[in-house]
Copies of this chain bind each other. A is one copy, B any other.
């Protein structure tokens, strides 16, 4: 039985509450003359967001019966990495954004030095969380999570993609270059979120690969939808400035092929993504429905 939109909203909302409680517990308390750092870390992390990456960690891990504590910690670590990337991307030297989730960005609410350092501290903390024995009893599993996270988030993944994104501003990259950039900038961490559940569950390589492939395709579709929303943008609903991509000459699929064709393409990509889950049968119905849901979002 396919999952209904209502049941997906419930699952997303449950994952959000669960990981937010976990983050609240795992983030350091603000104390001492350095309290501003921890306050900024908490401000950045606890200020909102859909918590999609945590949702995919939890749902993919649930396919293999992974326990809640492991899922919560891995989900929190990945969310810390996602948030650090937003904090740094928002800086004046990068996208220079004043608003995120309807609140002032970290460098606006605090200052630039604090934003840089809070981002650094969140990235570092993510690895501390994953390395701790509480995340999984088997240190091979913990090392595998760390290794793959570092790849997804590093020069060959998210950071490399961000550098390409900046390099492409005002340029005319080919469509395959834009796709490669978005595969690195956005899809790599989403794919790792899906893979993390498989790693924690010591899944067989084919099942793990299927989740990675699902996450990769979904990540690309997700990025296109993000770009469509920016192009059609309503800042109030988005909680951040809209129509920024065009203003900055960002290279996006939407800029390349237009909004309507981009919509069609994102739908096709989601179908493609979901096909990778065939191996799991109906156990993956919620993941499939969530993928459709996420890409049909309006903000």
- Where the two chains meet, the residues of A that have a C-beta atom closer than 8 Å to any C-beta of B are 28, 32-34, 36-38, 41, 84, 88, 91, 93-94, 111-114, 116-117, 119-121, 123-125, 127-128, 130-133, 138-140, 142-144, 146-147, 149-151, 153-156, 159-164, 166-168, 173, 177, 180-181, 184
CB-defined contacts of A32 to chain B, threshold 8 Å: 160, 164, 180
| The 8 A-B residue pairs with the shortest CB-CB distance in the complex, in nearest-first order | A128-B150, A93-B112, A139-B139, A124-B154, A131-B147, A131-B146, A37-B163, A34-B163
Closest chain B residue to A148, Cβ basis: B131
Contact between A163 and B36, CB atoms less than 8 A apart: yes
Contact between B28 and A120, CB atoms less than 8 A apart: no
Q: How many Å lie between the Cα of A116 and that of B152 in the bound state?
A: 18
Closest chain B residue to A135, Cβ basis: B143
Contact flag A124-B112 (CB < 8 Å), given A160-B34, A163-B37, A163-B117 = no
Contact between B159 and A120, CB atoms less than 8 A apart: yes
Contact between B117 and A120, CB atoms less than 8 A apart: no
Contact flag A150-B127 (CB < 8 Å), given A37-B155, A155-B28, A156-B28 = yes
Closest chain B residue to A120, Cβ basis: B159
Please give the distance in Å from A189's CB to the nearest CB on chain B.
12
Q: How many Å lie between the Cα of A153 and that of B122 in the bound state?
A: 11
Contact between B38 and A114, CB atoms less than 8 A apart: no
Closest chain B residue to A151, Cβ basis: B128
Contact between B154 and A143, CB atoms less than 8 A apart: no
CB-defined contacts of A155 to chain B, threshold 8 Å: 28, 34, 37-38, 41, 121, 124-125
Contact between B116 and A88, CB atoms less than 8 A apart: yes
Q: How many Å lie between the Cα of A153 and that of B125 in the bound state?
A: 9
Contact between A34 and B124, CB atoms less than 8 A apart: no
| Sample of 6 A–B contacts (CB below 8 Å) | A34-B155, A34-B163, A37-B159, A125-B150, A128-B154, A131-B144
Contact between B91 and A164, CB atoms less than 8 A apart: no
Q: How many Å lie between the Cα of A111 and that of B112 in the bound state?
A: 16
CB-defined contacts of A91 to chain B, threshold 8 Å: 113, 116
Please give the distance in Å from A194's CB to the nearest CB on chain B.
19
Q: How many Å lie between the Cα of A189 and that of B120 in the bound state?
A: 15
The residue that A111 contacts in the complex, of B93, B111, B149, B164, with Cβ under 8 A, is B93
Contact between B34 and A167, CB atoms less than 8 A apart: yes
The residue that A132 contacts in the complex, of B34, B113, B147, with Cβ under 8 A, is B147
Please give the distance in Å from A141's CB to the nearest CB on chain B.
9
